[in-house]
Amino acid sequence: MATDLVAGARTGPAPAPLPRPPARRRERRGRGLLVAGAFLVPNLVLLGVFTYRPLIDNVRLSFTDWNISSPTATYIGFDNYVEWFTSSASHAVLWNTVVFTAAAVVGSMALGLALALLLDRRLFGRDAVRSLVFAPFVVAGAAVGVAFQFVFDPTFGLVQDLLGRIGVESPAFYQDPDWALFMVTVTYIWKNLGYTFVIYLAALQGRRADLDEAAEIDAASTWTRFRKVTWPQLRPATFFLLITVLLNSFQVFDIIDTMTRGGPLGNGTTTMVYQVYQETFVNQRAGFGATVATVMFLILLVVTLVQVRVMERGQQR
Amino acid sequence: MTASGRRPLLRLTGAAAIAALTLTGCAGTGSADDAGASGDGPVETLTFWSNHPGESKEVETELLEAFEAETGIEVNLVTAGKSYEEVAQKFNAALSGGELPDVVVASDVTWFNFALTDAITPMDELWEAGDVDSEGYVDSLREDYAFEGEHYALPYARSTPLFYYNKAMWSAAGLPDRGPATWDEWAEWAPKLAAANAGIAPMVLPDGSNYLDWYFQGMVWTFGGSYSDEWDMTFTSDETIEAGTFLQDQYRQEHIAVSNDANNQFGAGQAAALMQSTGSLKGLTSAAQFDIGTAFLPGPPPGCPTGGAGLAIPERISDERKEAALQLIEFLTSTDNTVTFSQATGYMPVQKDAVDHPDMKPFLDSNPNFRTALEQLDVTSSQDYARVLLPGGGARIGAGLDRITIGGEDVAKVFGELDEESRTVYERDIEPKL
């Protein structure tokens, strides 16, 4: 790059001087830079102040022992990281996070796509159903959590009532850690289904109709048409959803807080974000909480980079 | 830089920005420091942060209007959260550089960390200067906020656990109209309740995520055990393990159920008895479709811990504001006003002479269950340090109790781990600051 050019200039023959761009072109480029700066600088400043500064501050705090009520923090090097990586509780929390996120991403995207395909047709009451599917997404997570506490209540809930009709006893949703994690995951998927549905529906409605018609004329089966014609056109939407749903799932807090408070048995449904909260505000260890947040950031950074890379390769093909 | 060289950098920056969005809620240290400074003259307004415990916003507003009429000081009542924990979070955020309140609600498990980090002010000197009768407060409630000879709050919305029972189910089992005097007596009664009332749990307790550790605190004491003796952990004492084993046996024999929503289970007639806060008295009595009896927690005493919240003053506000804040706290917790607050919410009156107040007798006559709660105050004790003063103590013990009940794990093993974890937390987070 720049260094190579300089090195080349030292060792090779002197390059011919470049002709100066005409004054009008220079002026136009200068004006272009000014306009670009006017648009970019405010956003970069906001990004720096509200995104990168907290990030840097968080990383700094992760190397400290800081009681959140105290005005001072003590530098302790990598102690917090050693503790997090060697703690069996953290391993359980990481596992909960992976299971919850994977199930939430796959579940909400698959169901969102299925509903979008269904409601992309001319059906009676289609608009009303679309609104109903989207509505839970705009309801506060805490409200959804409270409502679903009753849905899953093993004594009075809707689920136990439905299971009872076919002679099946309700699982102990609030006492068995596996069922508890299942419960909060289903609740989260239900709440966020509207989001994936709307994005997929928009993508379906923006796809090229002529390709579908051509495939239909060629007598391609429904599955072949979906796989060969529709799905490739949904790739950008899928990529967008993969990133946003994954990030949102990683950060779920309100539903877990209202439904299980991270339990049962201590950390049955504790995910990394919930661990950040517990360590920072319950155990008063804001330095350790910052460590968990930093580890979470690094995991998300790697996952996002991999996703971007995979997407770029897909586009190149 | 070439386009191909820029791309990885842009990719990394973009991905970092996306991933960093997960961290933007985590802020840094700072301080809102006005400690001991002089203000600009007489205090005209105060700010009071509350979560309105026991749905008390209305009565708090009335009391604050009366305070303004009496002193001329206007009070800005701020809803600082819906729970004690949320108020503590907001207060922590303010300590890192925001605007501090003059009076803040501090619960039995949140005040100590603020005291330890000098975030709230010791009140003893202020009491003397302001001529506050600290001896008028119920001793056990006042002493809940004592540490190393200083008091860091005054009692406000104070509660204790209470034994609730379904009178119809009691009658069906042929039991006397009272609570069990001891846990042994409970163990005798439970099979009778189960036999006479098919399909119900003789007793339901809130699970470890809903303060089982608070209800179990009294049970431990009746067995002669404790969570800790000041800072010495005592989870592995024979008596504490015996109490844990008793709880586990009762759970296994289906004499005691553990639930995430114990109030609902009891209120819907799915359990014959419940241990719950006195703060639930009003709600349970009005919601249940059956006669509710109340009793002391099984003894021998002390089998009942105190709980709830007090009022504290931030350390980093001016001396004038501290004096005015104490004036407000004294007003809110005066005999007249604690009686008013108590009757509106179900919390305990915090002044000793409140029981003799002219408004109290007719209220107690028409609310006999409240009388039980009030009389039980005499046999309450302050909670063990391991639960209320150790960071995360309640959640830690609650999870352990879930493990021995729901999880069926060995009591000695779980309590041994609790002992070790609690000691580690003490040595790491508390001892260096003492």
Domains of chain A: 87-316 (1.10.3720.10)
Nearest to B23 among A58, A73, A308 (CB): A58
Determine the pLDDT at residue A132. Answer: 87
Please say if the pLDDT value at position B23 is more than 80: no
Mean pLDDT confidence for A138-163: 92
Strands B103-107 and B307-312: antiparallel
Residue A208 pLDDT: 86
Give B6's pLDDT tier (boundaries 50, 70, 90). Answer: low
Which amino acid is residue A176, in one-letter code? Answer: D
* Contacting residues for B339 by C-beta, under 8 A, at least 6 apart: B349, B354, B357, B359, B360
For residues B371-383, one letter each, b for 16 or more C-beta atoms within 10 angstroms of the residue's C-beta and e for the rest, the string is: ebbbebbebbbbb
Partner A contacted by B16 (CB < 8 A): yes
Name which of B363, B313, B365 is nearest B341 in CA terms.
Answer: B363
Residue A10 has pLDDT above 70, yes or no: no
In chain A, residues with a C-beta closer than 8 Å to the C-beta of B407 are 265
Tell me: the pLDDT tens digits for B100-115? 999 999 998 899 999 9
Separation of alpha carbons B273 and B167, rounded Å: 9
- Across the range A291-295, mean pLDDT stands at 97
pLDDT tens digits, residue range B341-361?
998 888 889 999 998 899 988
Q: Is B287's pLDDT higher than 60? A: yes
Alpha helices in B131-222 (DSSP H): 139-143, 167-172, 183-196, 212-222
> Which whole number is the average pLDDT over B60-85?
95
pLDDT value of residue B7: 60
Side chain identity at residue B305, one-letter code: P
Instruction: Indicate the pLDDT class of residue B299, thresholds 50, 70 and 90.
Output: confident
Cβ-contact A287, A80 below 8 angstroms: yes
Q: Are B260 and A176 in contact (CB under 8 A)?
A: no
What number is the average pLDDT over the span B8-18? 59
Residue B338 pLDDT greater than 90, yes or no: yes
B45-158+307-357 belongs to CATH 3.40.190.10: yes
> CB–CB of A266 and B270 under 8 A?
no
Averaged confidence pLDDT in chain A: 88
Give me the mean pLDDT over the A210-233 stretch. 89
Domains B45-158+307-357 and B161-305+381-433 share a fold: yes
% of residues, chain B, pLDDT over 70 = 91
pLDDT at residue A286 is higher than 90: yes
For chain B, helix, strand, coil in percent to 5 are 50, 15, 30
Chain A interface mutation, best of B26, B403, B413, B418, highest count of A Cβ atoms under 10 Å: B26
pLDDT in the model for residue B12:
60
CA distance A250 to B22: 8
Q: B8: pLDDT confidence band, cut at 50, 70 and 90? A: low
Sorted by where each begins, the domain ranges of chain B are 45-158+307-357, 161-305+381-433
d(CA B23, CA B371): 50
CA distance A53 to chain B (A): 9
Q: Specify the pLDDT at position B14.
A: 60
- CB-based contact (8 Å) between A93 and chain B? no
What is the assigned CATH class of domain B161-305+381-433? alpha beta
Residue type, B278: T
**What SS3 string covers A152-213?**
CCCCCCHHHHHHHHCCCCCCCCCCCHHHHHHHHHHHHHHHHHHHHHHHHHHHHHCCCHHHHH
State the average pLDDT for chain B: 90
Buried b vs exposed e over B179-189: b needs ≥16 C-beta within 10 Å? Answer: bbeebeebbeb
Query: What does R_g of chain B's alpha carbons equal in angstroms?
Result: 24
